[in-house]
A and B are shown apart, each in its own frame.
Chain A
Amino acid sequence: QKEVEQDPGPLSVPEGAIVSLNCTYSNSAFQYFMWYRQYSRKGPELLMYTYSSGNKEDGRFTAQVDKSSKYISLFIRDSQPSDSATYLCAMSGNTNAGKSTFGDGTTLTVKP
C-alpha cells in the first residue's frame, strides 16, 4: 500500500465549477502538506502548503488538512480553463531533510 493515495481521475468539470481534489495518507509523522500543479511536460509548481491541521486560503484555492482522518483536500473555486493540469499532493515530516512523498496526481480538465 502506498503511503499517499490520490485518485488519478481524470476529472472534467465545466468552467466556473468548484473542484475538490483529495489525498489520503498513512504516515502519521507527516506534518507538511503541499499541493503542486503540473502542466503537461513541465515541472511541478507549488500552489500551497499547510503545516499540521487546518485550512489555508489563497485566492480561489483552499487547502484543508484533517490529520485525525489522514485526509487532505484542495478546493478550487470558480475554476478556469487555465486550471487544467495535473495536481499533485505531497507530504513530509519534520526531520526528513526536505524529502517529500508525492501522490500520483489527479488530472483536471476545465471545459469552457
Chain B
Amino acid sequence: GAVVSQHPSRVICKSGTSVKIECRSLDFQATTMFWYRQFPKQSLMLMATSNEGSKATYEQGVEKDKFLINHASLTLSTLTVTSAHPEDSSFYICSASRGQGISYEQYFGPGTRLTVT
C-alpha cells in the first residue's frame, strides 16, 4: 500500500509555456500533499504544503503565482509551473500523507524531470 504516482515522469517545454504535473495517491486518501524540488546532488527543498479543499501554504521565497497548486480531491494534487523559464528546470517530487501531520507518514512519488528550453 501507500503508492504515489506522478505524471508525467519527464517533460520538456519551451520557455514561456506552462506545465502541469499531477500527483496521485493510488491506494489511500491523502489529507496533505507536499511539493518539493530537487537540484542535482542537493536535497529536497519544500515548495508548498497543500491540504484538500484549501489553499496551499507556500514556503518563503516560493512564488505562489508561478507555482500554482491545486488539491481538488483526497487523491489528486497538481502543480502548474506557469511561464516556465530555464531556471525552473529541476526534479519535482510530490509526497502524500494520510496521517494528521505525522512527518514519517509521507509517501513520495517517483518525481518529474522538467527541462525548460
Hey, which bits of chain A sit against chain B, CB under 8 A? 6, 8, 32, 34, 36, 41-46, 49, 88, 90, 92, 95-100, 102-105, 107
> With A41-B111, A42-B111, A43-B93 given, is the CB distance from A97 to B101 under 8 Å?
yes
Of the four ranges (under 10, 10 to 19, 20 to 34, 35 or more), the interface on chain B belongs to 20 to 34
Distance in Å: Cβ of A54 to nearest Cβ of chain B: 15
Chain B residues positioned under 8 Å from A105 (CB to CB): 41-43
Distance in Å: Cβ of A5 to nearest Cβ of chain B: 11
Q: Are B43 and A98 in contact (CB under 8 A)?
A: no
Q: Are A88 and B43 in contact (CB under 8 A)?
A: yes
Chain A residues positioned under 8 Å from B4 (CB to CB): 43
Q: Once bound together, how far apart are the Cα atoms of A8 and B107, in whole Å? A: 23
Residue ID in chain B nearest A10 by CB atoms = B41
Q: Are A44 and B44 in contact (CB under 8 A)?
A: yes
Q: Are B108 and A96 in contact (CB under 8 A)?
A: no
Contact of A32 among B44, B103, B109 (CB under 8 A): B103
Q: Are A44 and B108 in contact (CB under 8 A)?
A: yes
Asked if B7 is at the interface (CB within 8 A of a chain A CB), the reply is no
Distance in Å: Cβ of B68 to nearest Cβ of chain A: 20
Q: Once bound together, how far apart are the Cα atoms of A100 and B104, in whole Å? A: 8
Asked if B75 is at the interface (CB within 8 A of a chain A CB), the reply is no
**Interface residue ranges of B83-117 to A (CB < 8 Å):** 91, 93, 95, 97, 99, 101-111, 113
